[in-house]
């Protein structure tokens, strides 16, 4: 995947996966996101004293660093945030943390890292047993403190996201979705990572925040020390490190060209998504954050087809309560009225995680206790969210969407909980829409295969191609090593979608796609032929898809689909569809002819 092409100077060019469009030119800032590993190692009796000294030195260094950060915060007049550093400084002196670790090093003759990890586990268990919510939260602080000590022990770089300043481009091995949101707060202008794929949630968040990004570069962190000049082309997936003046000039021109194209496309935003023979497709927005509402309106979406609510749970230490849910949903629904808003219930797990909810470490998180499975287990958390959604439903048109449904049994269980929740609100005289539509995501192969059963009991379908492709082709959507096998045009995927659409229509319910496929204009005519009622995508993609629809006819879509379904491989289909789209829209698909 990587193309490292040294040219006339020290310029290096890398090819990765462009996941968030746009060109940015800035200074590189490396970020250490590896977690220090804990491996038990026996130390010789004569080394025990020096092992203890190493531990004590790491504590001293950690405290010095914390004092320094505290000083910087105070100098910036942000004294209100300094208290957390005082808590961490106090924890550095915690007797149990210190004494227990030293005791274990001495008695069991093990390395400090391991002794510290065992002490941390013991402390975590003790905190878990505490009823008091405030004290429980201190567990996270202990983890941060231990993390800092460990990093100092292992000599790893300690740059934190909070330390980033100015308009920098972050270079990291990996970033979590939560990290990405934080990057936005730090005004980072772009990022590149070694790992990741187009449909990883980090990629999705970067698109929402409109931060250009390239992922899946495999080992870019090995080539960037920090402070070099760097160019990201998130549209084409290129990264240039130490560019020559000529390259910088060329990218400035390209940047202007992209901006021009974007402005041109924006002309389609206010127009209806109607084909030349009068066929409508509802184009809606996928959003993760409430801050994206202006983009939803600006790019001409007919409402929100997927609101990923898990971001309400990230970067915080407590769970959102009913009122918080309600306020966010109400704002969304009111600001987008009269358009509908589809709120997807909590879909944690896989490559998304919450900082507060401690999801057990699983061998196979994508197939673990995530999404609806988690909600059916933690019904209190689920009901809190449902109440917030129900209360917001009186302010506009709201639909509920359930993630990761594998069969009708789960849908039935949700219905019981939903009725129960409605009963609670009714008893308190709280208004809500009693007919609120309840839809399911078709993103697990078993749901696609049993779509006929689900269609009898669901109000609508939304096909989550990101996961449907992952599970039906057995391709980890975040693993850059198999990203070449992640083929949306694989006949299995097209057949899955076709089967689900046909069944939905037979049963008289609407069906849309909310996976990343919906955003790619290359597939728009195929979806038109398939007869999808809705396509939901990141707002930025809407004008381009709308343009394709407005310049085509449904008849053309049906004809094209017939040919597409005859190909045996994704490659053949792709060649065919590229050629067709290039001929029809030379100005939009020019790249494919190069
Ligand atoms: C999907 O799987 O296609 C989807 C839209 O859900 P998510 O990307 O949040 O898993
Ligand atoms: Mg999904």
**Lowest-confidence region among 66-75, 516-525, 569-578:** 66-75
Q: Under the phi-then-psi rule, with left for phi > 0, alpha for psi from -120 to 50, and beta for the rest, what region is 429?
A: left
DSSP label at 425?
H
Q: Which atom of ligand 1 is nearest to the CA of 204?
A: 8
Distance CA 16, CA 480 (A): 9
Contact 556, 545 (CB under 8 A): no
pLDDT (0 to 100) of residue 493: 98
Distance CA 29, CA 26 (A): 9
pLDDT (0 to 100) of residue 166: 72
Pairing of strands 17-20, 213-215: antiparallel
Ligand lying nearest the CA atom of residue 469:
1
- Give distance in angstroms: CA of 466 to centre of ligand 2: 6
Contact 183, 170 (CB under 8 A): yes
Distance CA 404, CA 442 (A): 7
Q: Tokens representing 379?
A: 């019904």
CB burial class (10 A; 0-12, 13-18, 19+) of residue 198? Answer: buried
**Within the chain, what is the greatest distance between any pair of CA atoms?**
85
Ligand lying nearest the CA atom of residue 199:
1
pLDDT (0 to 100) of residue 3: 43
- Give distance in angstroms: CA of 6 to centre of ligand 2: 39
Q: Please tell me whether residue 398 adopts helix, strand or coil conformation.
A: strand
DSSP per position, 167-197: SEEEEES---HHHHHHHHHTT--EEEESS--
Q: Tokens representing 65?
A: 């660093």
Say whether pLDDT at 592 is over 50: no
Ligand 1 atom 9, closest CA:
308
Q: Which atom of ligand 1 is nearest to the CA of 470?
A: 2
Distance CA 110, CA 96 (A): 18
Q: Please tell me whether residue 25 adopts helix, strand or coil conformation.
A: strand
pLDDT (0 to 100) of residue 160: 64
Say whether pLDDT at 138 is over 90: no
Which residues are known catalytic residues? 201, 514
pLDDT (0 to 100) of residue 346: 95
Mutate which of 466, 469, 500, 520 to test ligand 1's pocket (most atoms within 8 Å of Cβ)?
Answer: 466
CB burial class (10 A; 0-12, 13-18, 19+) of residue 235? Answer: middle
Mutate which of 177, 200, 308 to test ligand 1's pocket (most atoms within 8 Å of Cβ)?
Answer: 308
Distance CA 476, CA 200 (A): 9
Look at 158 and 412; give whichever has higher pLDDT. Answer: 412
DSSP label at 530?
H
Ligand 1 atom 4, closest CA:
464
Instruction: Give the chain's mean pLDDT.
Output: 88
- Give distance in angstroms: CA of 465 to centre of ligand 1: 7
Ligand lying nearest the CA atom of residue 465:
1
Contact 552, 275 (CB under 8 A): yes
pLDDT per residue as tens digits for the range 169-198: 999 888 776 677 667 666 789 999 988 888
Mutate which of 464, 511, 512, 535 to test ligand 1's pocket (most atoms within 8 Å of Cβ)?
Answer: 464
Please state the separation of Cα 401 from the chain's center in Å: 18
Q: Tokens representing 402?
A: 């359930």
- Give distance in angstroms: CA of 440 to centre of ligand 2: 11
Q: Which atom of ligand 1 is nearest to the CA of 199?
A: 8
Alpha helices in 109-159 (DSSP H): 112-128, 133-154
- Give distance in angstroms: CA of 515 to centre of ligand 1: 5
Ligand 1 atom 6, closest CA:
464
Say whether pLDDT at 4 is over 80: no
Q: Which atom of ligand 1 is nearest to the CA of 350?
A: 10
Ligand lying nearest the CA atom of residue 202:
1
Say whether pLDDT at 2 is over 50: no
Q: Please tell me whether residue 373 adopts helix, strand or coil conformation.
A: helix
Which of 305, 364, 303, 362 is closest to 334 using CA atoms?
Answer: 303
- High-pLDDT (> 70) share of the chain, %: 87
Spell out the SS3 assignment of 284-352: EEEECCHHHHHHHHHCCCCCEEEEEHHHHCCCCCCCCCHHHHHHHHHHHHHHHCCCCEEEECCCCECCE
Q: To which residue do tokens 């091995």 refer? A: 173
Which of 114, 141, 139 is closest to 124 using CA atoms?
Answer: 139
Mutate which of 19, 441, 493 to test ligand 1's pocket (most atoms within 8 Å of Cβ)?
Answer: 441
Look at 188 and 591; give whichever has higher pLDDT. Answer: 188
Torsions phi, psi for 287 (to 5 deg): -135, 155
Question: Is the dihedral angle over the CA atoms 178, 181, 187, 191 positive or is it negative?
Answer: positive
Ligand 1 atom 8, closest CA:
466
pLDDT (0 to 100) of residue 246: 94
Ligand 1 atom 3, closest CA:
464
Distance CA 453, CA 444 (A): 14
CB-defined site of ligand 1, < 6 Å:
306, 308, 347, 443, 464-467, 514-515
Q: Which atom of ligand 1 is nearest to the CA of 286?
A: 5
- Give distance in angstroms: CA of 270 to centre of ligand 1: 27
pLDDT (0 to 100) of residue 153: 82
DSSP label at 367?
G
Mutate which of 314, 343, 467 to test ligand 1's pocket (most atoms within 8 Å of Cβ)?
Answer: 467
Angle subtended at Cα 20 by Cα 19 and Cα 24, rounded to the nearest 5 degrees: 120
Alpha helices in 41-82 (DSSP H): 48-75
Query: What's the whole-number mean pLDDT along residues 1-26?
Result: 75
Ligand lying nearest the CA atom of residue 287:
1
Q: Which atom of ligand 1 is nearest to the CA of 462?
A: 5
Q: Per the confidence metrics, is the pTM higher than 0.95?
A: no
**Lowest-confidence region among 50-59, 136-145, 166-175, 340-349:** 136-145
Angle subtended at Cα 368 by Cα 321 and Cα 39, rounded to the nearest 5 degrees: 100
Helix 133-154, helix 83-92: angle, nearest 10: 70
- Give distance in angstroms: CA of 201 to centre of ligand 2: 10
- Give distance in angstroms: CA of 403 to centre of ligand 2: 7
pLDDT (0 to 100) of residue 320: 92
Torsions phi, psi for 472 (to 5 deg): -80, -30
Spatial CB neighbours of 462, under 8 Å, sequence gap ≥ 6? 305, 306, 342, 401, 439, 440, 441, 442, 511, 512, 513, 514, 534, 536
Contact 63, 92 (CB under 8 A): yes
pLDDT per residue as tens digits for the range 543-564: 999 999 999 999 999 999 999 9
Q: Which atom of ligand 1 is nearest to the CA of 466?
A: 3
- Give distance in angstroms: CA of 144 to centre of ligand 2: 30
DSSP per position, 249-287: HHHHHHHHHHHHHHHHHHTTTTS--B-TTS-B-EEEEEE
pLDDT per residue as tens digits for the range 423-471: 999 999 999 999 999 999 999 999 999 999 999 999 999 999 999 999 9
């Amino acid at each position: 995947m990587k193309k490292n092409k040294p040219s006339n100077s020290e310029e290096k060019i890398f090819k990765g996966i462009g996941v968030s469009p746009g060109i940015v030119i800035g200074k590189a800032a490396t970020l250490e996101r590896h977690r220090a590993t804990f491996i038990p190692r026996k130390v010789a009796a004569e080394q025990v004293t020096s092992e203890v000294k190493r531990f004590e030195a790491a504590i001293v260094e950690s405290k010095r660093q914390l004092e320094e950060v505290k000083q910087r915060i105070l100098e910036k007049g942000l004294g209100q945030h300094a208290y957390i550093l005082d808590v961490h400084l106090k924890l550095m002196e915690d007797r149990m943390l210190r004494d227990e670790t030293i005791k274990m090093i001495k008695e069991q003759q093990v390395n400090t890292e391991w002794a510290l990890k065992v002490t941390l586990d013991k402390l975590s268990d003790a905190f878990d047993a505490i009823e008091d919510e405030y004290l429980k939260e201190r567990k996270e602080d202990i983890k941060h403190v231990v993390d800092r000590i460990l990093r100092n022990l292992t000599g790893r770089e300690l740059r934190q996201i909070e330390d980033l300043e100015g308009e920098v481009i972050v270079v990291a091995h990996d970033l979590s979705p939560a990290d990405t949101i934080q990057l936005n707060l730090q005004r980072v202008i772009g990022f590149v990572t070694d790992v990741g794929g187009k449909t990883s949630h980090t990629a999705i968040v970067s698109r929402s925040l409109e931060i250009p990004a390239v992922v899946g570069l495999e080992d870019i962190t090995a080539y960037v020390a920090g402070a070099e000049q760097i160019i990201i082309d998130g549209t084409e997936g290129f990264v240039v490190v130490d560019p020559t003046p000529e390259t910088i000039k060329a990218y400035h021109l390209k940047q202007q060209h992209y901006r021009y194209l974007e402005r041109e496309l924006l002309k389609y935003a206010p127009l209806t998504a109607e084909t030349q023979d009068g066929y409508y497709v509802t184009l809606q927005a996928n959003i993760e954050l409430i801050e994206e509402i202006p983009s939803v309106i600006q790019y001409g979406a007919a409402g929100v087809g997927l609101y990923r609510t898990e971001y309400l749970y990230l970067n915080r230490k407590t769970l959102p309560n009913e009122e918080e849910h309600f306020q966010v949903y109400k704002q969304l629904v009111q600001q987008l009225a009269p358009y509908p808003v589809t709120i997807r219930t909590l879909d944690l797990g896989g490559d998304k995680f919450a900082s507060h909810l401690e999801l057990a470490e699983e061998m196979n998180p994508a197939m673990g206790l995530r999404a609806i499975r988690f909600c059916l287990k933690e019904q209190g958390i689920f009901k809190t969210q449902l109440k917030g959604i129900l209360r917001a439903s009186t302010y506009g048109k709201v639909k509920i969407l359930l993630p990761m449904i594998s069969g009708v049994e789960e849908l039935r269980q949700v219905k019981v909980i939903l009725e129960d929740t409605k009963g609670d609100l009714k008893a308190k005289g709280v208004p809500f829409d009693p007919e609120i539509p309840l839809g399911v995501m078709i993103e697990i192969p078993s749901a696609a295969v049993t779509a006929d059963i689900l269609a009898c009991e669901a109000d609508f379908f939304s096909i989550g191609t990101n996961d449907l492709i992952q599970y039906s082709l057995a391709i980890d959507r975040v693993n850059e090593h198999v990203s070449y096998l992640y083929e949306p045009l694989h006949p299995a995927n097209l057949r899955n979608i076709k089967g689900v659409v046909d069944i939905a229509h037979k049963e008289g319910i609407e069906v849309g796609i909310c996976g990343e496929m919906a955003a790619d204009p290359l597939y728009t005519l195929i979806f038109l032929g398939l007869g999808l009622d809705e396509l939901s995508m990141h707002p930025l993609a809407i004008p381009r898809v709308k343009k394709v629809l407005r310049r085509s006819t449904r008849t053309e879509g049906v004809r094209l689909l017939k040919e597409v379904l005859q190909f045996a491989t994704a490659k053949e289909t792709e060649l065919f569809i590229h050629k067709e789209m290039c001929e029809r829209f030379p100005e939009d698909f020019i790249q494919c002819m190069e």
